Structure 1
Amino acid sequence: MSDEALKELGDYISGALGAAVVKTEVAYGELMVTLTREGALRGIQFLRDDSTTRCEMLADIAGVDYPSRPERFEVVYNLLSVKHNHRIRVKVTTDEDTPVPSVVSLYPVAGWFEREAWDLYGIFFADNPDLRRILTDYGFEGHPLRKDFPLTGYVELRYDEEQKRVVYEPVTLRQDFRTFDFLSPWEGMTDVQLPGDEKAVIPLGAPTPAAKR
């Protein structure tokens, strides 16, 4: 669909859902619809059932973390219409404590997607019948895709030869903080003297290839 056709589709959705729509926009050849939490379930059901949108398939649910925002999480639903051959991306925002309505009743596959978002971001989905961790281990502490989750994690595991089992231990680092300079070694070479550079210095008055010619 052209951007103009997508914009018209966005206007149609806004007119049909009213206050449930925060905004619509077209970017990168896709229509994005931001819904309120309260209107999310009704809005997504409309996108599934309405003859103009007819999004029969929920391809994915993703989480995005923006720690500086009051509502730090975006829940992103990627919907696909096989009939009309278009995609609609739906966004709903929330914080750490406020649940988002589950869409399992509309798309049963959402059960696994919502479990993943809960596991990795801590986004709670109200009325999900089986909201358990799906990727991390039992008893895992925290949600590893949050921006404030430490890169090292809190624990590490190894196989203990004496106990003949996998054991968990606190993460131990040689130093608390490390910083890395990723500047290319070829950048700024005029300011850096490396071992052996002195051999490349031509003594004053020494003949050079240009002088011999």
Structure 2
Amino acid sequence: MKLTNNELHLNYHAFVDHVRKLAVADPARREDDATLYEFGKYIASVLPKYVQQYSVWKDELVIYTAPSGLSQVLEFLRDHTNAQFKQLSDTTGADYPTRPNRFEVIHNLISYQFNARIRVKTYADEAQPVPSAAPLFSAAIWGEREVYDMYGIFFTGHPDLRRILTDYGFEGHPLRKDFPIHGYTEVRYDEEKKRVVSEPIELAQAFRNWDYSSAWEQTGEGRDNAPKGFERLNKPTNSSSKAS
């Protein structure tokens, strides 16, 4: 039996409503911390080997995974019926020098189907590479180039990993906490030579105190089904207790 365009349109919306009813939690209800928490619990139950931690942070669900599970988590969030996070809006990094794995890599995803956002975090150090998200999201190409330029984090599988913001021959990575505030070289115009010259700077580096706050503490390597010390964060309270 051939359906008309109007019948197809009605059937599609009925299917979407049915899928949303099947979902453990609707991620579009961003104002409801308990709903976001339940959606994070659902993701962790489907991917227990890869999801190390999840939390609701500032009305947004955050998933924490090891580098070895990053591609699997991103692919699940992109393709699963109850997720549909098809758009990578941003890729960025952060530096926490006191941690064994000092760098965080953060991917921010958007689901237009559910009008929702999610944040996926993983970690790395100076020598440990992170799988590139470019094979799954082409928008990651420039974002990961910026993270590499600013932090020196390597991405395996990236099609064109090179600097994007700093000049040719730039030394160091400017957003690392241990990068000198004044840099390593000074670029100026030399009146005698009538050209731009680059000279090393000889200034003492002032003491810097790194003060930052984060909802995350690293938990395990993400290689086991139940990493040692696994604990869910920010478990929401019942609405009745909030009202009281």
Q: TM-score range by the shorter chain?
A: 0.7 to 0.9
Identity of aligned residues (%): 52
Tell me if structure 1 keeps the 8 A contact 2:55–2:63. Answer: yes
Aligned positions of 1:7-22 closer than 5 A: 7-22=37-52
Q: One-letter code of the match for 2:34?
A: E
Match of 2:170 in 1: 140
- Letter paired with 1:118: Y
Structure 1: stretches of 5+ with no match in the other structure: 180-213
- Residue among 152, 158, 169 paired with 2:188: 158
Q: Name the counterpart of 1:187.
A: none
2 CA distance for matches of 1:178 and 1:74? 25
Matched, 1:32 2:54: no
Q: Distance in 1 between matches of 2:64 and 2:167?
A: 33
Hey, what's the Cα distance between the residues in 2 that align with 1:22 and 1:177? Answer: 38
How many aligned residue pairs are there? 177
SS at match of 2:49: helix
Query: How do 1:87-166 and structure 2 match up within 5 A?
Result: 87-166=117-196
3-state SS, counterpart of residue 76 of structure 1: strand
Q: 2:79 aligns with which of 31, 49, 53?
A: 49
Gap runs ≥5 in structure 2: 1-28, 208-244
Other-structure match for 1:4? 34
TM-score by length of 1: 0.80
| Structure label with greater radius of gyration | 1
Query: Which residue of 2 is the match for residue 171 of structure 1?
Result: 201
2:108 is paired with a residue of what secondary structure?
Answer: strand
Over residues 146-199 of structure 1, what are the superposed CA-to-partner deviations in whole Å (9 max), with x where a residue is unaligned?
0001101000101223433321111244xx3669xxxxxxxxxxxxxxxxxxxx
- Post-superposition offset of 1:19: 1.2
The residue correspondences of 1:74-93 to structure 2 (distance < 5 A) are 74-93=104-123
Distance 2:112 2:157 in 1: 28
Deviation at 1:70, TM superposition (A): 0.2
Once the two structures are superposed, what CA deviation does each residue of 1:55-108 show, in whole Å capped at 9, x if it has no partner? 111011111000000000000111111110111000001111010000101111
Alignment-mate amino acid for residue 156 of structure 1: E
Determine which structure has the larger strand proportion and give its number. Answer: 1
Normalising to structure 2: TM-score of the pair? 0.70
